[in-house]
Structure 1
């Protein structure tokens, strides 16, 4: 199922000796494609090549290993300059499906397909392992739930947003627990107190823990909304009129039968 949406060669660049180069290049390219000010998803080819060359120079690339699927000519003639490295990397990313080209009169533009864009965003997220705000997640759930309850016929879809936010943050908490397990195993392997403290803050607090962990012990901690959220959900569960309106709204939004829409609401 995965490769019905992604090219079969998509992970080839990460399977060879040059994978760290491709990783750095794609992370830098993500800044080009996911720029908040970017209006047109079609980026000029020369800008993409320039970005790749900047990465090559920054990394100080001086060595290139032959790769699977390369032509015999490419295997025998390895790149010798930043420009040649850039050409080799760019061509490889196009061949393996990471980048697509589109010709517009006299200029060539580069774009990402929707599946590749989603994949790259996911890889960037894994690389950054951004901390999550517990208070932000709880307030998003509360706000979305209030919208759905107060206007089920017009804004009922926000009930699903509340459920998705809760599910996403629940998954983050699971990741956090697994991160603790890995950290415990690594700390058990060292007897250096300084290394233990450094690892805890660098690997756990800085990268895994929720960003607003200090507020969890204050009177403003997000747990204070827990009772309010549960009360609203319980009242909604036993309010057939609102459940009926929500179900009809879901039926319209998702083009479902009423029975399926009602099951989705519940």
Structure 2
């Protein structure tokens, strides 16, 4: 099935690029690419072809690769072969300038190589920076939605990066658990525990989740920012218009859908994060329980070791025993000498009776506080009836009015006024067939709110 570059998962990377890591020389190719990226093409940009081959030859000589072949003591043939291989698989591209052949790393391959080198160096595992970046970008988009719409899209990518890190940590601890469980030799088991589990996962990642400075503490603030933007019609409209301006969407409706999708993705990551943390915690408990059990029964296991028994029997077979009469001391059949040797029945477990949980009664002050919060929430939620009641009271039969002429005499009026620009979308478009809104020149600044001026008018059969 044919795919365009935009549809293919690898973009415009050469189709044979990954063949470089599939043969017996894959480690050599990987080290050579890292050497070329950091030593040859780091700051120089395009380089003459002979200089690239000379650099490859230096790499081979430094690693004592060319000297192993008698007919190529300085690695010249091997360097040319490797150069041709990198060009053939699309990692290097040649350009002609007059009579010179210039070489550079392929643009798509460079992105892939930088990612692989970052992953090798562990620079992709700093999930704390991802969380802080999500917070900073959302705060930026919340403060200035008209000019910082790209911050919302970047916050979505960072949130996904944080989720991928938790998935990587969970899967890595699972692999470490399998590696530890597969070892039957004690030295190998403890080596796997301390190297693969403690150093790589427990100290580097897991412990960060349980420190006071853990970026996980910003989760509530991030979810609050998502809710604030989602509930603010003015900010949603500004972000949608910016998405159209920046080419992220072709129509206002598609732009609003894209903004809503980005906000939902961020909220989904930080709402469902507890499931991944539970998996990580359960894996940690299983691994540490296995190590505790191994240490606890280490002496018993060693005594029952087949190799130990075999070694003892071989030594007994070589020993020259003298005939002796059997006695109670030799056979271990003497009578018990005290309470320690007597059988002790297992203690019966005490049945724990179920007890009802008594919740503490709320104080009168707390009840009044919760009632006030509930009344405020009901007051701040704008319904179609509230919006239409305000407009009917202010317009008094008039067909239209400008936003700057609409008075705000109370907090209830402010709540309604704030939602008027999106009245067509209120409660799923319940009033879209009665009212329409369009922006006009000017700015509203009445002490309550500052926003773009608009005109709101009743829909008639002709205008509908």
TM-score by length of 1: 0.81
Q: 1:49 is matched with which residue: 47, 53, 73?
A: 53
Alpha-carbon offset, residue 14 of structure 1: 2.7
Residue correspondence of structure 1 range 1-266 to structure 2 within 5 A: 1=8, 5-32=12-39, 35=42, 38=43, 41-61=45-65, 79-130=72-123, 132-204=125-197, 206-207=199-200, 211=204, 214-256=207-249, 257-266=251-260
Q: Within 2, Cα distance between the matches of 1:172 and 1:218?
A: 18
Deviations 1:20-77 (A, max 9, x none): 2212211212214663xx2x53134344323322331233225999xxxxxxxxxxx9
Distance 1:101 1:205 in 2: 46
Q: 1:208 to 1:56 in 2, by over 3 A?
A: farther
Structure 1 stretches of 5 or more lacking a match? 66-76
* Aligned Cα root-mean-square deviation (Å): 2.9
Q: 2:29 and 2:21 mapped to 1: Cα distance?
A: 7
- The 1:22–1:223 alpha-carbon spacing in structure 2 relative to 1, beyond 3 Å, is closer
SS in 1 for 2:103: strand
CA contact (8 A) 1:100 1:113 kept: yes
Measure the CA separation in 1 of the matches of 2:243 and 2:185: 57
Provide the residue aligned with 1:74 in structure 2.
none
The answer on whether the counterparts of 2:41 and 2:105 sit within 8 Å (CA) in structure 1 is no
Residues 46 and 204 (structure 1 numbering): CA distance in 2 closer, same or farther, change over 3 Å? Answer: farther
* Contact 1:24 1:55 (C-alpha < 8 Å) held by counterparts: no
How many residues get paired? 252
Higher helix fraction (1 or 2): 1
- Does structure 2 retain, via aligned residues, the 8 Å contact 1:102–1:109? yes
Indicate the structure whose relative CO is greater, using CA pairs within 8 Å and at least 6 residues apart.
Answer: 1
Unaligned 5+ residue runs, structure 2?
Answer: 1-7, 261-464
Give the match for residue 73 of structure 1: none
Between the aligned partners of 2:130 and 2:211, the Cα distance in structure 1 is 17
CA distance in 2, matches of 1:171, 1:124: 18
Give the TM-score normalised by the residue count of structure 2. 0.49
User: CA offsets, 1:175-213, max 9 Å, x none?
Assistant: 111111111111112144554444345435555568565
SS at match of 1:109: strand
Measured against aligned partners, the alpha-carbon deviations of 1:208-244 in whole angstroms (never above 9, x if no partner) come to 5685654433332222211111111111111111110
Instruction: Tell me if structure 2 keeps the 8 A contact 1:156–1:250.
Output: yes
| Alpha-carbon separation, structure 1, partners of 2:113 and 2:161 | 19
